[in-house]
Structure 1
């Protein structure tokens, strides 16, 4: 049997096996290989190093965050949460964290909002398509450009986080259009600009407090939805690196997990203080964000750590779904599908004020609300009306206000509510009884939505709890997670992960279209070999080991990277022959193995270790004989 590792370059032989709870077991079930069994040769791709790091730098890299056991290693932990609508950060040093003191940042705005713990996820570029500003500053500058009729010389980007959820194939060349669809910019630059702006805001904030930290001893925790793909997570790591954060100082955290950690560690912050986190308890975290709904189910183990009992689930049913329904209402009211877009272009501050007032109403309306909800009416919005407002809609429009009947306002939630309830019901069918549901995220600030979920008949026996400020618990929990990344000890694999392999060709089971000849022998190409199955419970330290031998006799092969391409899919039946070219398979990207400064020896024997039980797939590699670390990196397609 031969494993195919992408292109024609060098000859490799290796065995594939598991290391679970200290016991090496065979991973390839069709052949009873032993760890030392010699396999047929295959070809391993090489590529010149392109990440900009020198070989000397790679040999000096500190250990990965997830390898560290010490909570005192970092002077300060900074959590960064880039949301669909709003973004922010929180931080705590190793003295403050002992008393559970976590600092939330403050953003100032010259609008109807004075101070907030999050800023709008808005990036403004100048006429040269270079970064200008972020957050409230970006909104206010853009409004100034509109007032001065110079807004065609700048470009505004909003709500771009959803692109990483919606896009099936994520690469570093992915582009996102600005609000006016005039220009498109690399998504990685927009995310890097956002991360950099937040990082600089943190640095100014601690400087203002008179605090000093060693920049090499700061850990940055970047939160991501649990339902994101591995490609999206790797994309965010690359964006953070581009923003100036060193890889060894970066840790990804899953948003609903960090929310659970905060609620568990600080129970006095809960609305319902009867909720108790104790061994054996099983609960659901319902993270209702601006763009997505992110759901996990945890069980508390006897050692106090958390373990997933169902794979992360969710969908694009966040608060922006309600916003879209409101926009439909306004478009219908004024008989103009583009009236709000025209308001944004002509008077962005008026549009912002309307948007923020609607957000406040969205949070405060309840199931018992009966009076019409009143919103300040931007006078410029009337300019875009194609309807005769006085004759046709006298109850909805006055000179200064827009009125929405309470039942119609509540109907804006119908679609999101329906889909959220459906997801919860499906999960409960799989996991059975749970003790409680924790509601977090900005969308869970909506009183009406919380009430509607709680009163659903299928959830009558569930206990629902919610922090007093659910919109920032992800940030606060991410700080805690940074000091204890092993707090979640086991996770459920969302997909089946593996690599492409070559096997001996068998005309009785293999299609002729997959026939190939390698090293003079007939093989079947593109066979999918599993490393981890969908639904597997994977321990934090559980490792899949790939032992390889690679020949580099040719001088032009001494300083090239070796590659392994990884794939993900779902609904794979164990022991069933499938191919990576089948429908439903997605390439995650390629693992690159970088040569040492002196180049590869003629024969390289090394082990690659895959960790699937952490917040993202982590890969380590070392030479088998001397355990010298081989630097690895991830290349998006």
Structure 2
């Protein structure tokens, strides 16, 4: 059933006195996606229209949960004045291991209690395998893509562990990941003896721009489940965050990009997804989205899958790598990380690739030495290694061409994300004939662009002034029946009057540009003349759809139009007036949909129904 939220407006009351002084914020409930609420009723407050002054937070911390690696970054106000962002230095086993991020691996015990995260989880699990105790442990790895691929994300969505023996709620797996990062961050700032108020820390959680609203909401709820107060939580879109980082860079190649009237594309090439935004730079330096967020599941792990298929063919076994993970996960980790290093370093200059081959893999594969395998190494010929990149490379180029045809021009394409560290992919994009006239650049440490930018976004979320709607949004309403425009089967009677039910009253159309702080307005009336209607809740339901025609009446029951949620207003003690009128503001131009609902007749906002 659709998400039902009690929508209200109230002054924010942050946990600290200092934050209360700084805020003066207007908060209201927001409406999100079609998620099952038969067991759980959500009543959250979030920011609608005002934001605390620039640099008002003591610290902004950003959490980036990636498909392959996750990490956090942070900055206090003194550092932010210097445009400085701090990272944690994780400890991996290989020189090539990312230091500012840890593997997105979470380990639970036999009772499904959280045990560890990141390198600690991987190392502990490897030890348990060696001691043949791994049946008591459940490892979750590379699970982020579940939220992209799942068509209907619900609160009861579960993720299977790597062995397929058990599963957990997705919200629990993501929550423990965020909680681990949060705990590590808190320990780090304590060790640095930074002066801050815990109630005046803003936590920014990044999500792909191409995710469905339901996936974004699940990530937000996971962050709250991890102990982040909603008043201190902000969702950032990954390619937008990367743009904020690039905008702050001193390099000449990028500062020209952010001059007024320039148009650029940020191509966020992650482990799981490719996420794209296109911005115009406004006269005052603000950013305006000019093409709706686009992308697909063509990230670096697609190259990994091709390599895995190659290994399976060499060893004539579809299960050899799975057996390696089960028998010797340390060897599997080493092979995976060495391939990751080669994946980044290979370029257009032809050279065969040499990888250390785990002895265990030869045992489970049971193949003789071939021209590709020499003692403890495997040699991948350069043409074959390039083939691993073909599918994602072609899809990325096709996406760039499609967007270019729509927007007309691009002054620059900025590559960010871990997959953009691939020299081969970078060279292939720069040399492709259809986009060779566009300047393509990649900042230093592109895999950290989203994290650093998310911190900057936390201080200045209003820098992205305009966004493009990915859906058509509107309320389901009753209208006075007009046989010239309304279907006969939608005729109904209310208080003796002929009305048309299920009309899709559109607030904003797909592809429309919406401003950060500029709401769309809807007015509605509800009749309560009959005694049995004096105390019933008033419900207003928000819907979303794609490819909605604008030349006829559209109904919310039509195919492709889905409910997002309901605003529920409860009657005052004395009951409703005969006719109640509401004015509803909906903000579509931020990273989340936000709603403010006002009861004009009773001069009040919808009250909070506390549990």
TM-score under structure 1 normalisation?
A: 0.84
Instruction: Tell whether the 8 Å contact from 2:66 to 2:144 is kept in structure 1 after alignment.
Output: yes
* Equivalent position of 2:353 in the other structure: 373
Where in structure 1 are there 5+ consecutive unaligned residues?
A: 8-46
- Judged with a 3 Å threshold, the aligned counterparts in structure 2 of structure 1 residues 231 and 115 are, in CA distance, closer, same or farther, namely closer
Match of 1:254 among 237, 240, 244: 237
Where in structure 2 are there 5+ consecutive unaligned residues?
A: 5-36
Q: Name the CA distance, whole Å, in 2 between partners of 1:83 and 1:600.
A: 52
* Equivalent position of 1:453 in the other structure: 429
Q: Please show how residues 265-344 of structure 1 align to structure 2 within 5 Å.
A: 265-268=248-251, 272=253, 275-344=256-325
* Equivalent position of 2:458 in the other structure: 482
Q: Name the CA distance, whole Å, in 2 between partners of 1:554 and 1:484.
A: 50
Per-residue deviation, residues 383-430 of structure 1 (Å, max 9, x unmatched): 2215x332xxx2111221111001100110000000000000000000
Q: Name the CA distance, whole Å, in 2 between partners of 1:346 and 1:248.
A: 46
Per-residue deviation, residues 348-406 of structure 1 (Å, max 9, x unmatched): 111111101000000000011x22101111111112215x332xxx2111221111001
| Corresponding residue SS for 1:614 | coil
Q: Name the CA distance, whole Å, in 1 between partners of 2:204 and 2:3.
A: 33
TM-score under structure 2 normalisation?
A: 0.87
* Equivalent position of 1:73 in the other structure: 56
Per-residue deviation, residues 447-481 of structure 1 (Å, max 9, x unmatched): 00011111110112101111110000111011111
* Equivalent position of 2:87 in the other structure: 104
Q: Is 1:230–2:210 an aligned residue pair? A: no
Instruction: Tell whether the 8 Å contact from 2:470 to 2:511 is kept in structure 1 after alignment.
Output: yes
* Equivalent position of 2:22 in the other structure: none
Instruction: Tell whether the 8 Å contact from 1:65 to 1:251 is kept in structure 2 after alignment.
Output: no
Q: Is 1:197–2:177 an aligned residue pair? A: no
* Equivalent position of 1:10 in the other structure: none
Q: Please show how residues 43-192 of structure 1 align to structure 2 within 5 Å.
A: 51=41, 64=47, 67-110=50-93, 116-192=99-175
Q: Please show how residues 388-537 of structure 1 align to structure 2 within 5 Å.
A: 388-390=367-369, 394-505=370-481, 514-537=490-513
Instruction: Tell whether the 8 Å contact from 1:109 to 1:137 is kept in structure 2 after alignment.
Output: no
Per-residue deviation, residues 316-359 of structure 1 (Å, max 9, x unmatched): 11111101111110111111111111111111111111101000
| Corresponding residue SS for 2:241 | helix
Q: Name the CA distance, whole Å, in 1 between partners of 2:534 and 2:127.
A: 57
* Equivalent position of 1:361 in the other structure: 342
Instruction: Tell whether the 8 Å contact from 1:91 to 1:479 is kept in structure 2 after alignment.
Output: yes
Match of 2:516 among 540, 546, 554: 540
Per-residue deviation, residues 230-289 of structure 1 (Å, max 9, x unmatched): 222222211111111111111111111111111111233x7x457442100011111101
Q: Name the CA distance, whole Å, in 1 between partners of 2:536 and 2:327.
A: 54
- Judged with a 3 Å threshold, the aligned counterparts in structure 2 of structure 1 residues 461 and 110 are, in CA distance, closer, same or farther, namely closer
- Judged with a 3 Å threshold, the aligned counterparts in structure 2 of structure 1 residues 192 and 550 are, in CA distance, closer, same or farther, namely farther
- Judged with a 3 Å threshold, the aligned counterparts in structure 2 of structure 1 residues 511 and 335 are, in CA distance, closer, same or farther, namely farther
- Judged with a 3 Å threshold, the aligned counterparts in structure 2 of structure 1 residues 68 and 385 are, in CA distance, closer, same or farther, namely same
Per-residue deviation, residues 18-71 of structure 1 (Å, max 9, x unmatched): xxxxxxxxxxxxxxxxxxxxxxxxxxxxx9995587xxxx8xx7x728621511
Q: Name the CA distance, whole Å, in 2 between partners of 1:553 and 1:123.
A: 57
* Equivalent position of 2:33 in the other structure: none
Instruction: Tell whether the 8 Å contact from 1:548 to 1:605 is kept in structure 2 after alignment.
Output: yes
* Equivalent position of 1:35 in the other structure: none
The structural deviation recorded for 1:183 is 1.3
RMSD: 2.9
The structural deviation recorded for 1:156 is 1.0
Q: Name the CA distance, whole Å, in 1 between partners of 2:87 and 2:605.
A: 38
Q: Name the CA distance, whole Å, in 2 between partners of 1:556 and 1:149.
A: 67
- Judged with a 3 Å threshold, the aligned counterparts in structure 2 of structure 1 residues 218 and 273 are, in CA distance, closer, same or farther, namely closer
